[in-house]
């Protein structure tokens, strides 16, 4: 039986779906990660404790584990384990991305620099030093332009991403993002990224790379405009309703970005904006779509996205990778304000909306909740299928309107208002 090491960060939604995929494929799983022993107790599986934030050390430990229990693949289920998986797979001679290519996707400034060298379409950008004064930020705007977006170099899930329309707003955004990064990483003076805001609809391109060639599995629309000041993603729907030319431009930009970064094997999640026929790459990640969103995808063979990822890592035939024809989508339930979650009511009513297939609440009552840009999690996920993307979107919006998110105030959970209306 083939044996796969799954690298699992402490906070991830993805473990259960990957474990089910492995079971279906008849693959033995070893859990690796910061809290692997806790997962072992929970799931009754072999585990190895690994420092995912130190990819070289983690890779050395994985190689040592392989000498005792040989591995056939090392797969990261989320961003944090991606570099360690690539490093270990390279040392073990398994299918892998070049570690430096994966590392480039984890640092937005390195990614932007590589894409720029390859002339991949993307926003104008520059780096803001950790000790940059307000006048330095104002000066840097001259090379980027307004409106702009301030980003951390390493965080994900829209955490710490803010739009600014004036120089004064940009200075304030830099200070706020610095505080967010300091809280998330303990680094108070981290360099930030300053980008020109790109208008237009945004899509997510999901694919698998084989020998550097991108096979597109799905293109998701994000029908809620992502215009800021914070960039909280809510609804994903596939297939995309962009016209054929814009969809082709988005896919071509994603493929060009993968080549420029040097990615070669495994899943890719790329975010691309299209404006007046021009596609601009916003993000590229060497992983599958985040959260539980992959549950929207099943393919003509009946396989799930996780099954395809595991099969490809093992060098097994994938079969047809055409998405099943019905439209599908997911609502990532937003957090309307900071506080303590009391509960989410209305789920029974929402579940009865035609087209809704499942509702998963992923934060337990009594836990603190914080919206983006300070936060990086959602309350849960609502899934839908239908005859058309419009039907799916309508079902998700109707279900969202029926959900009653109850949050109690908590003076210890503070956040600055994002300017978004509560959902």
- pLDDT for the residue 423: 29
Mean pLDDT of 254-278: 97
Q: What is the DSSP letter of 353?
A: S
Region(s) of the chain under CATH 3.30.1490.20: 124-196
- pLDDT for the residue 414: 52
177 neighbors 194 (Cβ within 8 angstroms): no
From the list 171, 153, 184, 175, the residue with the least C-alpha distance to 374 is: 184
CB burial of residue 318 (10 Å; 0-12, 13-18, 19+): middle
Q: What is the DSSP letter of 323?
A: B
Q: Report the predicted TM-score, pTM, of the whole model to 2 decimal places.
A: 0.92
From residue 15, how far is each of 9, 44, 148, 180, 217 by CA, in Å? 9, 13, 36, 27, 21
Length of the chain: 423
Fold of the 3-99 domain: Rossmann fold (3.40.50)
**CATH 3.40.50.2300 is right for the domain spanning 124-196:** no
288 neighbors 78 (Cβ within 8 angstroms): no
Reported for 296-299, long-range contacts at CB under 8 A and 24+ positions apart, including other chains, are 296/236, 296/238, 296/328, 296/329, 296/330, 296/383, 297/206, 297/217, 297/218, 297/238, 297/323, 297/328, 298/323, 298/324, 299/217, 299/323, 299/324
- pLDDT for the residue 290: 87
- pLDDT for the residue 71: 97
290 neighbors 267 (Cβ within 8 angstroms): no
Region(s) of the chain under CATH 3.90.1170.50: 326-423
Flag whether pLDDT at 372 surpasses 70. yes
Region(s) of the chain under CATH 3.40.50.20: 3-99
Return d(Cα 299, Cα 378) in angstroms, integer.
Answer: 26
Return d(Cα 149, Cα 147) in angstroms, integer.
Answer: 7
- Give per-residue pLDDT as tens, 177-228: 999 999 998 998 899 999 999 999 999 999 999 999 999 999 999 999 999 9
Token pair, residue 243, equals: 């016209």
The full DSSP string for 257-290 is HHHHHT--SEEEEEEEEEETTEEEEEEEESS--S
Return d(Cα 274, Cα 254) in angstroms, integer.
Answer: 12
Residue 317 neighbours by CB distance under 10 Å: 7
**420 band by pLDDT with thresholds 50, 70 and 90:** very low
- Count CA atoms closer than 13 A to 37's CA, side-chain side: 3
**284 band by pLDDT with thresholds 50, 70 and 90:** very high
At what angle are helices 244-261 and 108-117 packed, to 10 degrees? 100
From residue 210, how far is each of 21, 96, 97, 114, 365 by CA, in Å? 20, 10, 10, 21, 42
Return d(Cα 63, Cα 175) in angstroms, integer.
Answer: 42
Return d(Cα 326, Cα 413) in angstroms, integer.
Answer: 41
Which residues have CB under 8 Å from 138's CB, separation 6+? 167, 170, 171
**CATH 3.90.1170.50 is right for the domain spanning 326-423:** yes
From the list 320, 325, 214, the residue with the least C-alpha distance to 269 is: 214
- Give per-residue pLDDT as tens, 156-180: 889 999 999 999 999 999 999 999 9
Q: Quote the Cα angle for 311-314-318, to 5°.
A: 30
Mean pLDDT of 411-421: 48
The full DSSP string for 195-243 is EE---S-EEEEEEEEETTEEEEEEEEE--S---SSB----EEEES--S-
Q: For a pLDDT cut of 70, what percent of the chain falls above it?
A: 95
**422 band by pLDDT with thresholds 50, 70 and 90:** very low
């Amino acid at each position: 039986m083939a044996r796969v090491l799954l690298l699992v960060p402490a906070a991830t939604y993805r473990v259960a779906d990957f474990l089910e995929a492995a079971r279906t494929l008849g693959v033995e799983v070893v859990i690796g990660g910061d809290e692997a022993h806790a997962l072992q107790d929970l799931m009754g599986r072999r585990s190895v404790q690994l420092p995912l934030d130190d990819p070289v050390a983690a890779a050395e430990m994985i190689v040592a584990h392989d000498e005792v229990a040989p591995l056939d693949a090392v797969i990261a289920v989320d961003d944090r384990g991606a570099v360690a998986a690539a490093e270990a797979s390279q040392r073990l001679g398994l299918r892998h991305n070049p570690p430096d290519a994966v590392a480039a996707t984890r640092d937005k400034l390195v990614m932007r620099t590589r894409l720029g060298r390859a002339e991949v379409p993307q926003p104008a950008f520059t780096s803001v030093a950790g000790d940059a004064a307000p006048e330095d930020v104002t000066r840097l705007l001259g090379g980027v332009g307004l409106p702009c977006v301030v980003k951390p170099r390493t965080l994900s899930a829209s955490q710490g991403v803010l739009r600014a329309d004036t120089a004064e707003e940009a200075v304030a955004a830099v200070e706020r993002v610095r505080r967010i990064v300091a809280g998330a990483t303990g680094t108070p003076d981290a360099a930030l990224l300053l980008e020109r805001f790109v208008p237009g609809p945004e899509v997510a391109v999901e694919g698998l790379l084989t020998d550097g060639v991108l096979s597109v599995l799905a293109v998701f629309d994000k029908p809620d405009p992502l215009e800021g000041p914070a960039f909280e993603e809510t609804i994903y729907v596939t297939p995309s309703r962009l016209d054929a030319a814009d969809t082709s431009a988005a896919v071509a930009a994603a493929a060009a970005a993968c080549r420029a970064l040097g990615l070669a094997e495994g899943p890719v999640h790329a975010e691309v904006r299209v404006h007046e026929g021009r596609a601009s790459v916003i993000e590229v990640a060497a992983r599958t779509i985040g959260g539980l969103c992959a549950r929207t995808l099943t393919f003509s063979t009946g396989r799930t996205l996780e099954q395809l990822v595991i099969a490809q890592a093992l060098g097994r035939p994938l079969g047809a990778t055409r998405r099943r024809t019905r439209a599908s989508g997911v609502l990532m339930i937003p957090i309307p304000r900071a506080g303590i979650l009391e509960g989410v009511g209305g789920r029974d009513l929402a579940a009865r909306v035609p087209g809704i297939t499942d509702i998963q609440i992923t934060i337990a009552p009594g836990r603190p909740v914080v919206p983006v840009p300070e936060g990086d999690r959602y309350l849960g996920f609502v899934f839908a299928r239908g005859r058309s993307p419009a039907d799916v979107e309508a079902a998700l919006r109707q279900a969202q309107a029926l959900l009653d998110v109850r949050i109690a105030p908590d003076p210890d959970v503070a956040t600055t208002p994002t300017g978004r209306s509560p959902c």
